[in-house]
Homo-oligomer: A and B are copies of this chain.
Amino acid sequence: MAEYRTFTTDDAMRFADEHSGLFGEHSKLSCEEFGDGNLNLVFRVENDKGTSLIVKQALPYARCVGESWPLTIDRARIEAEVLIKHRKLCPEHTVEVLHYDAEHAAILMEDLSDYRILRSELIAAKQFPHLAAQLAAYLANTLYYTSDFALTGPKKKQQVSQFLNPELCLITEDLFFTDPYCNHERNNVHSEIRTEAQQLWHDEVLQAEVAQLKADFLSKPQALLHGDMHSGSIFINDENCKVIDAEFGFYGPIGFDVGSLVGNLLLSYLSHFGLTADSSARETQQQYLLEQITCLWQQFSSQFKQLMEQECREPSLQNSLYQQRFMQQIWADTLGYAGCELIRRTVGLAHVADLDSISDSTLRGQCEAKALKLGRQLILQRHELANMAQLVALIQYQQA
């Protein structure tokens, strides 16, 4: 294969066949394209024994707007290389990449056909007791082992350069940190919360805090982030969960990954005010989500602390007082980025199904207003909220 071209199902089958020993006879393969994303083609290639693999190919433009929004296909390299690195650090919870082809920006990877997307499951009020503990392990291992605690200066600089990812970072810089705080044409504001959105656009105290969080996103390369840790990037079943879709990966602030996930769990929490009419069912699900958020932070922070204490290769960062402050700073960042996620998913371009699938628009507006209010509180109070108990109290206070 030579120059880039968009794959047909035939191409995808050939690609899967060529780069895996799983399949046997080529003639017995079948293939369907099922991507619902805007940026990629996604094929499932299957043999007659039910073994299947995924072929994901980056499109050189954003599909939702035709071919008018060009987007580097180098993001397939980023995705493959982040996933391969993260899988080395946390094999249990990272999807397996079998092959990456630079010319075609195509990745052959494990099919998670016995898993489902976490977001849909949470919307359906499903519960998975292992969710938080497993994702905490993923975050602690991938973030610790790519940080200054584990890598020498030169080694880390090489990785910073390998994962610069300027184009996809720019999307986040705009959609996550800029648009929601001004009356930008890319925003998507339901009429029910127009007033609250306008307050946001004039809230200079909040904007100063968001500027700090954005500056850190631009200039705090602490670890190799997944970069897009929302509940649509996580596949789950009754035993396990696995992280996919790492094309936004880059070296950034640790709290961005943790906070994005916390923000998505909070979005699910708030959405059930609109999704689940039965108050007992709603309370059960919301209680579950709060427990998961609590467990996520506790397990993540205790594992990260343990790694700092036991594995740190850098003598001057072994100081225990420094490590304590480092965790405190990740905590504050986590709250801040979680708050940004709540806000940008409510008034920005990219909404979440959790809120958008609330059929009653008045109810949906109420949930969205709660998301804006809580998001603002998390950002403004991120240095004051001392621990998880205070965060939970603040969240529960929203219901009153």
- Interface residues in chain A, defined as those with a beta carbon under 8 Å from any beta carbon in chain B: 148, 152-154, 156-158, 160-161, 164-167, 169-170, 173, 177-178, 181-182, 204-205, 207-208, 210-212, 214-215, 218-222, 315-317, 319-322, 325-326
Chain B residues with CB under 8 A of A211: 316-317, 319, 322
A316 to B182, CA, bound (A): 9
Contact check: which of B153, B160, B319 meets A173 at CB < 8 Å? B153
Chain B residues within an 8 Å CB radius of A158: 164, 166
**Residues in B neighbouring A153, C-beta threshold 8 A:** 166, 169-170, 173, 218
A204 adjacent to B166 (CB under 8 Å): no
With a cutoff of 8 Å between Cβ atoms, the chain B residues found around residue A164 in the complex are 157-158, 160-161
Instruction: Tell me the bound Cα distance from A317 to B207 in angstroms.
Output: 9
Q: How far is the CA of A208 from the CA of B322 in the complex (A)?
A: 5
Are A322 and B212 closer than 8 Å at their CB atoms?
yes
Report B-chain residues with C-beta under 8 Å of the C-beta of A321.
204-205, 208
Copies in the complex: 2
List 30 A-B pairs, Cβ < 8 Å.
Answer: A148-B215, A153-B166, A154-B166, A154-B167, A154-B169, A154-B170, A157-B166, A158-B164, A158-B166, A160-B161, A160-B164, A177-B316, A178-B315, A178-B316, A181-B316, A182-B315, A204-B320, A205-B321, A207-B316, A208-B321, A210-B316, A211-B317, A211-B322, A212-B325, A214-B316, A215-B322, A215-B326, A219-B221, A220-B220, A221-B221
Which B residues are in CB contact (< 8 Å) with A320? 204, 208
Q: With A160-B160, A166-B157 as known contacts, state yes or no: A319 contacts B214, CB within 8 Å.
A: no
Question: In the complex, what residues of B have CB within 8 A of residue A166's CB?
Answer: 153-154, 157-158
A148 x B207 contact (CB < 8 A) = no
Tell me the bound Cα distance from A154 to B71 in angstroms.
Answer: 13
Residue of B whose beta carbon sits closest to that of A158: B166
